[in-house]
Amino acid sequence: MECPEENVVVDFVRGEVDDELRVVIERHLDGCAACLQVVGELARIFQLPVDADAGTFGGGETLVETSPMTGTAGKTRKDDVFVAGLHEGSKLGRYVVLSRVGAGGMGVVFAAYDPELDRKVAIKLMRSAPGGSGPKELADQRARLLREAQAMAKLSHANVITVHDVGTIDGQVFVAMEFIDGTTLSGWLRERPRTWREVMTVVLAAGRGLAAAHAAGLVHRDFKPDNVLIGKDGRVLVTDFGLARPAAGRTDAFATVGGNSSQKVLGIALTQTGALVGTPAYMAPEQLAGERSDALADQFSFCIAAYEGLYGERPFAGRVLSELIANVSDGAVRPPSVKAAVPRWLRRALLRGLAVRREERYPSMDALLQSLAHDPWRRWRQAAIVGVPAIVVGAATLAYQQHEQPRAAAYCQDVRDKLDDVWDDGRRDAVRRRFEAAGAAWATDGYDHVARKLDPYAEQWLAMQTQACRDEVEGARPQAVLALQMTCLERRRDALAALGELLASGDAATLERAIDAADNLPALDVCGDLERLMAREGSVDATIDPETRRSLDAALARAKVLIDASALAAARTEATALIERTKSAGYARGEAFARHLVAVAYDLGGETESAERSYHEALSASLASGDAEVVVRASIGLLWVSTQASRPLIEADRWYAHGKGALERMGGDPELAAELERTIAVAYLQHGELETAEVHARASVKLREESFGADHASLGLPLGTLGEVLAAQDRMEPAREAFERARTLIEREYGELHPNAAAANDNLGALLAESGDLEAALTPMRRGLAIREAALGVDHPSNAASHHNIAGALRELGRIDEARVHAQRELAIARLAFGDGDSEYASALGNLALCDAEDGRHDAAAAGFRQAREVVLASLGKRHPQVAFYSGGLAAELLALQRASEAIEFAQEALDVRLAALGPEHFKVGLSERLLADVLLAALRPDDAIPHAEHAIAILTGKVGDASALGQSQFALARALWDSPTHRDRERARELARTALATVKTRKPVDASDVDGIEAWLEAHP
């Protein structure tokens, strides 16, 4: 036989199949290792102990002819005898048996005749679970069936099977239900290929039955296709509420068992023999975790069944249970294996119902069904054909008709007037004059850039607004769709107005920063893409006064432009005030966006802890409001914060997956998708996972090329990230090509003297320095500094980074005096811009300390590292990864001063901080392990040094980077093995030293001091 379906295997493990099917399955298990593993895992997850020697399963009762895996073979139960004795014509109370229909969870179903009411019914008889049939077990099982009867009898709905009667016959509990002549949803799907509309007709009907159960306070807990019946008359009914229980918080049930059929036992929290209730293939993550189920778990199960009906396979792969659980818990929805003609909006709706986080699902089955039934294209076509507006997006339609329709007609009288003082000839001239008055070298190119962006943006807005107005007049689209489009266009007009106002009034510094804001105007194309628009917006909020919403949207646009122009303090003040204003107005989407703006302002201002807190608040607010775009943006922000804090990669992966899921639900957005890919690439780069980093970096580049073209300036940032990844892989030529392409695109767009071009020069200089061409690196580095000083002034904070990089290159060239000049300028700028308690000031102290160290001034270097460490401890806390750099630097300088015993404390601190922040396999942990090994060797503790040197070698072997670190780790282990009193192995020590010598010679350029030190040791230790 073929492998049985999961629900059949579940019934087999529970001992709920008849003898004939049991024998067939057992024969199959003898030759199918995969199914055998599933059975074993199910036995564990249902907490059914197996004792193959004793032949027991579940409750300790000895069974005959036990199967080693299931322990159920050959058991003859009392109720099996009773059931086996039933045949056509047998009496069950007043009912006459007609035929056996089938067996299900804990029950056997017969077709029967009710002579009193002259109707055909279905009788379900309780079967005892494996493991005993004592008084307590029988009472529990009776309670279970009574629960099922009560659950179903409480419901009166066209899509829920009707319960007529419940009682006991000869100790057997029964339920009499209406008889459905038809098949299950599973069988119906197998009959022939079904269109997606056919499937959704049935699925929606079943969903209405499930929603009715929830409205009655009941949770099904085992919704699956086999529990949906489809009659030959076309009726669709949900059945098998044997696992149902009252929803959390209801108090209308009593924990009483026994007596007659009217007793209330629905409140007993019964489970099937073990920890889980339901069929694993359709379980929500919280069910698989053994947590209490509710209506949101039913929603998840429903969406699995709907997905299976549409695509012919369930959304989560898993041949064995452990794999299934992992995929469900990770939200790893597999792409359809066959191309199904299922609309994207329908898939997105199901994916939201399949969200791992309960709060990301629909708030109710009714909300899910509304989304699933909402075919925007069908309704649009109907509206156009009939000539009257179709009802779309629920209550929003009424609100639009009441508040927006008169306004829309007026709005369309003269569309061009709507851009007066937004971006017209007068505003354009005012902006041009402000750029001319700035007197900066970049001003002419800057104005040209702004005009190239804003002129076509305004024209596209006019065209789209004009078309929307025509559609309103002609009735070409439903009113609610027009409401969404006009709101979308209004928000973009607000953004254009806010930017134009800022450009017309800003000073030179504001204008320089505001040029970037022109690139960040919200895209207009989404306003014309109905499917994406509805996925993003859903509806115009009907509960908010339209004028209040428009006023708040305009204020939010102003705050966003302030952020784009780097006016962070003003932006944060305005956005913080807007949180309260939107909250008071009940404008949930506006509140989510305001919280996001506050988070971005903190983030760009370097206030990481406040940014992270605010991103979380924005994420929670956007999930509550259903604003998928803010969910994506907040996820990217949290991914960036976790990367900057050097947290374990698993956290970055979690935020990446969160953002990807929200992107799919909102219908995609190439710009957001590209930034998500670039940010996760940075995370993998930081953790040394370079192949994966390259995949994501190239994906980011490709997304922007496909969306904006191969010559678009927005490619500069992802190309820079790709260049960094390639450089880390020691692939210097393709890295250089990426950086040079980025610089060309940026200079072409902004001009050669714009500060954005300075960043491109910085990247190219860093690459050349990394490749060992230090003299060549100084040219773009100095060009970047010159651009910034000319554009922004010599004391601008961004100049500190340029001085830092130039000092590093000069230091490597041995030009210490020149390097010290730049390091001191960095220190002065950092003190002026950030204060002497900021981590930027600590970075400058560290740079100067490195100059002192290279110059042999180890006392001064140690003092510099010590001060930098104290600043970081006070400003960022003792667990921040920056602590490790300064502690390690201090330890190295104390080692140079022959104060090894004192250095141990700081070398150990550096290692502990990196282990906690980065995990045990990160290459920076390897560097700290090597340093601690050197310090312990100098402190005459070779045995203690050995494990640290070995761990350093294990981490650094195969890592792309400075070969000196691996070579010095090998050399440290060689010396430790030579000097060890307990682990002495001098032959291996010399071999390691020779290996170390070969390793350090691969460094480009070769460090002569490394080579000389190892060669001298080998000569002294023959």
Domains with residue ranges and CATH for the chain: 6-74 (no CATH), 390-562 (no CATH), 669-791 (1.25.40.10), 794-899 (1.25.40.10), 920-1022 (1.25.40)
Residue-wise pLDDT tens digits, 491-512: 899 999 988 888 888 777 778 7
Of the candidates 241, 92, 76, 273, the residue with the CA atom closest to the CA atom of residue 171: 92
Q: What's the token pair of residue 884?
A: 């490790």
Strand partners, 99: 111
Identify whether 222 is a catalytic site residue: yes
HEC sequence for 190-216: HHCCCCHHHHHHHHHHHHHHHHHHHHC
SS3 state of residue 167: strand
pTM of the complete model: 0.51
Asked whether 107 and 145 are in contact (CB, 8 A), the reply is yes
Q: ω before 670 within 30° of 0 (cis)?
A: no
Given the residues 11, 79, 114, 222, the one annotated as active site: 222
User: Any idea what the Cα angle at residue 314 is, between residues 310 and 317, rounded to 5°?
Assistant: 145
**Integer CA distances (angstroms), 162 to 148, 152, 159, 176, 225, in order:** 12, 7, 9, 9, 18
The stretches in the chain having pLDDT less than 70 are 1-2, 5-7, 10-11, 13-19, 23, 26, 29-85, 103-107, 126-154, 171, 241-278, 320, 337-340, 374-414, 473-480, 531, 534-543, 959-962
Q: Give the torsion sign (CA, 327, 332, 338, 344).
A: positive
Exposed, middle or buried: residue 786 (CB in 10 Å: 0-12, 13-18, 19+)? middle
At 411 the pLDDT is 46
At 546 the pLDDT is 80
Q: What is the DSSP string of 22-81?
A: HHHHHHHHHT-HHHHHHHHHHHHHTT--EETTTTEESSS-B-SS--TTTS-TT---HHHH
Residue-wise pLDDT tens digits, 434-483: 888 887 777 777 888 888 888 888 888 988 888 887 777 666 666 667 77
Query: Which residues, in sequence order, are CB contacts of 426 under 8 Å at separation 6+?
Result: none
Asked whether 303 and 354 are in contact (CB, 8 A), the reply is yes
